[in-house]
Homo-oligomer: A and B are copies of this chain.
Amino acid sequence: MGIISGKQFINRIDDLHNEVWIHGKKVDGKISNHTAFKGMLHSKAKLFDMQTDPRHQPLLTFALPGTSEKANFSFKQPATKADLTDRRLATQLWAKTNAGLLGRSPDYINSAIMSLAAAAPLLGKNNKKFGKNIRQIYERAAAEDLTFTHTFINPQTNRSISFFESDDMIIAAKVVDENSDGIVVKGARLLATQGGLTDELLVLPAGGNFIDESYIYGFIIPSNTPGLKFMCRESFVSGDSEFDYPFSTKYEEIDSVVVFDDVLVPWERVFLYKDLNIAFEMTQEVDMFTLLSFQSVTRQVVKTEFILGLTQLIIDAINISEFQHVKDKASEIIVGLEIMKSLLLTSENQCQHNTFGMMTPEKNALNAAIIYYPKLYPRLVEVIHLLGASGLITLPTEKDFLSDNTRPYIDQYLQGAGSDSLERVKIFRLAWDLTMSSFGSRQTLYERFFFGDPVKLAMSLYNGYDKTPYVEMVKELLD
C-alpha cells in the first residue's frame, strides 16, 4: 500500500470511529468535521499530501525494502550519518509548514516505533514473540503509513514518592487479568496528545511504580479497540476565523486522558510484559528517546527560526530597531537559535551505531538541548511580549476589518510604521496566538515539559554523564 494521501488519512481516521469524549459528549459522525479536531487533521493531511508532491517525495519517502512501495521517511531505520541528515531535513520540511507548532507531527512517534523495532532483539530476548510482535507492528505501520499517539505517564493524583495505589483503587492503568487472547488492562494514563485522532496507540511503562509487575507492559493497539476511551480537555480552537486565530484553527492538537476500561490487548500486540530487566535495559539501550529528541529538537529549531522572523517583523512594523535594548533582546533569540542548531548538528555529526545497528545521534548534545529549550522558550515568549507590548492587545478581528463602519478607523489608527493596518494586525495576531491565546499558553507549557519534569531531566543528565575525563584532567594538574 505505501504512502497515503491526506484524503486517505482523513477517511481512515473517520472510519475508525474511535471513542472520543469531549465536553461530556461522545463524538458522533465524522471526527474530521468536528470543530475541535478538523483544523489539526487537515493540517496533518497536508503533510501526507506532500509525500506525493514530486518536489518533496525524494526527501519525504524511501523505498520499502523488498518492495516497490514507498514509505514515510520516519520509518526508515538510519544506517549512516547521511540517513540522519535526511531525516533531519525531512522533519524540518514538514515542521516549516506549521512553524514547528505541530508537536506530534506523524514523524514524532513513528521514530519511536522504528527505534523499538530496531531493538527487537532486546525485546525478544526472553520471549521471542515479543520481538516478532514489535517487528510486525512496525512493518505494517511503515507499509500502511499508520499514525500513532502515545502515553508514557500516570495520572497526577499523588506525586509523593511514598504513595502507592492500593489494589482496590486503580487509578494508573495496570494489568488486571490475562488469558489466552491477551492481557486485560484497567485504569488511566496521561497524556495522549491527538488521542483518538491517530490510527493506533503506543503504551510504555510509566516508571516510578515498577515495584508491582502489573505496571510493566508495552503494547500498541488500534485506537478503536473496545474499552479504549479518550477523554479530551476542552478545545483551544478559539473560533472559526483563520484570520483571528491563525494557529489554533490549524494546529490545536488536543490532549486526552486515556481510559482503559478492561481493555483486552491481544498477545500479538504486546512486546513487553512483567519483565523488569528488559524494561530497564530499554531505557539504556533502545535509543527511542534519542530519536524522539532528535525529531523534537529539529522541530524546535524551526520554531525558534519562526520566532526570530516574527520578532523581526514586529520590530519593523512599529519601527523599534534603533533601540539598544530591542537589539539586545532580539540577539538573545539569535544566540538561542545558534545554540539549538549547534547542539542538533553536533549530535548528528557525532552519531554512532547503537547496540542494534541503528545509527544514533550523540546523546549528550541532545540531552543538553532538551534541558536548555524549556528554559529558552519561555524567554522567547517573554521577548515577544516585551517588544509587542500594547500591539498584542489592540487587535481588531476579521469582522472589524469586514465592517465598513469600523474598517476606516482601524486603517487609520492601527497602521504600522512600514505596513498597513491589515499587515500589521496579521503579524500581531500571529504573535498573540503563539504566546497569549489559550492555544499559545498550552504551547508554552508543552515546551516547558516536553521531555518531562525539568528537575528530573537535570538529575538524569548529571547521573548519566561521564565526568571521569574531566576529573582526571584536574587530578593531573593537582599533581
CA distance A410 to B23 in the complex (A): 12
Which of these, B246, B399, B415, B477, contacts A99 with CB under 8 Å?
B477
B259 near A413: Cβ-Cβ < 8 Å:
yes
Whole-angstrom distance from the CB of A228 to the nearest CB of chain B?
12
Q: Which residue of B lies closest to A325 (CB)?
A: B455
User: When each residue 331-359 of chain A gets 1 if its CB lies under 8 Å from chain B and 0 otherwise, what string results?
Assistant: 11011001101110111011000000000
Chain B interface: which of A61-69, A198-206, A283-291, A302-310?
A: A302-310
Q: Which residue of B lies closest to A394 (CB)?
A: B257
Query: For the complex, is A27 an interface residue (Cβ under 8 Å from B)?
Result: no
Which of these, B155, B343, B382, B438, contacts A339 with CB under 8 Å?
B343
CA distance A153 to B327 in the complex (A): 24
Query: For the complex, is A30 an interface residue (Cβ under 8 Å from B)?
Result: no
**Known: A156-B389, A325-B325, A394-B233. Contact between A405 and B470, CB under 8 A?**
no
Chain A residues numbered 425-479 whose CB sits less than 8 Å from any CB in chain B: 426-427, 430, 435-438, 440-442, 444-445, 448-449, 453-455, 458-459, 461-463, 465, 467, 469-475, 477-478
Whole-angstrom distance from the CB of A452 to the nearest CB of chain B?
9
Whole-angstrom distance from the CB of A260 to the nearest CB of chain B?
10
Q: Which residue of B lies closest to A328 (CB)?
A: B458
Chain B interface: which of A6-14, A104-112, A314-322?
A: A314-322
Which of these, B386, B403, B458, B471, contacts A454 with CB under 8 Å?
B386
Query: For the complex, is A21 an interface residue (Cβ under 8 Å from B)?
Result: yes
Chain A residues numbered 387-430 whose CB sits less than 8 Å from any CB in chain B: 389-397, 399-403, 405-406, 409-410, 412-417, 426-427, 430
CA distance A332 to B368 in the complex (A): 9
B368 near A338: Cβ-Cβ < 8 Å:
yes
CA distance A345 to B345 in the complex (A): 9
**How many copies of this chain?**
4
Query: For the complex, is A25 an interface residue (Cβ under 8 Å from B)?
Result: yes
**Known: A21-B405, A394-B191, A455-B325. Contact between A159 and B319, CB under 8 A?**
yes
Chain B residue numbers with a CB within 8 Å of A155 are 394, 413-414
Whole-angstrom distance from the CB of A23 to the nearest CB of chain B?
4
Query: For the complex, is A166 an interface residue (Cβ under 8 Å from B)?
Result: no
B473 near A233: Cβ-Cβ < 8 Å:
no
Q: Is the interface of A mostly helix, strand, loop or mixed?
A: helix
Which of these, B23, B331, B378, contacts A459 with CB under 8 Å?
B331
Chain B residue numbers with a CB within 8 Å of A477 are 99, 246, 306, 430
B472 near A309: Cβ-Cβ < 8 Å:
yes
A334 near B462: Cβ-Cβ < 8 Å:
yes
Query: For the complex, is A365 an interface residue (Cβ under 8 Å from B)?
Result: yes
Whole-angstrom distance from the CB of A449 to the nearest CB of chain B?
6
Which of these, B159, B448, B467, contacts A385 with CB under 8 Å?
B448
CA distance A67 to B323 in the complex (A): 54
**Known: A403-B25, A465-B334. Contact between A436 and B430, CB under 8 A?**
no
Chain B residue numbers with a CB within 8 Å of A229 are 409
A330 near B171: Cβ-Cβ < 8 Å:
no
Chain B residue numbers with a CB within 8 Å of A159 are 318-320, 417
Whole-angstrom distance from the CB of A381 to the nearest CB of chain B?
9
B417 near A190: Cβ-Cβ < 8 Å:
no
Chain B residue numbers with a CB within 8 Å of A364 are 334, 338
Whole-angstrom distance from the CB of A445 to the nearest CB of chain B?
6
CA distance A471 to B332 in the complex (A): 17
Whole-angstrom distance from the CB of A369 to the nearest CB of chain B?
8
Which of these, B188, B435, B470, contacts A441 with CB under 8 Å?
B435
**Known: A390-B449, A393-B233, A477-B99. Contact between A238 and B438, CB under 8 A?**
yes
CA distance A194 to B207 in the complex (A): 50
Which of these, B26, B389, B474, contacts A405 with CB under 8 Å?
B26
User: When each residue 151-165 of chain A gets 1 if its CB lies under 8 Å from chain B and 0 otherwise, what string results?
Assistant: 001011111110100
A160 near B309: Cβ-Cβ < 8 Å:
no
Whole-angstrom distance from the CB of A15 to the nearest CB of chain B?
23
Query: For the complex, is A255 an interface residue (Cβ under 8 Å from B)?
Result: yes
Q: Would you mind naming 9 contact pairs between A and B with Cβ atoms under 8 Å apart?
A: A153-B390, A160-B322, A190-B394, A231-B410, A233-B394, A323-B324, A334-B368, A440-B441, A441-B441
- A-B residue pairs, 4 tightest by C-beta: A309-B470, A24-B403, A338-B368, A24-B399
Contacts A313-B475, A332-B458, A385-B445 given; 8 further ones with Cβ under 8 A?
A24-B403, A96-B473, A157-B414, A160-B322, A306-B474, A335-B372, A389-B453, A440-B441
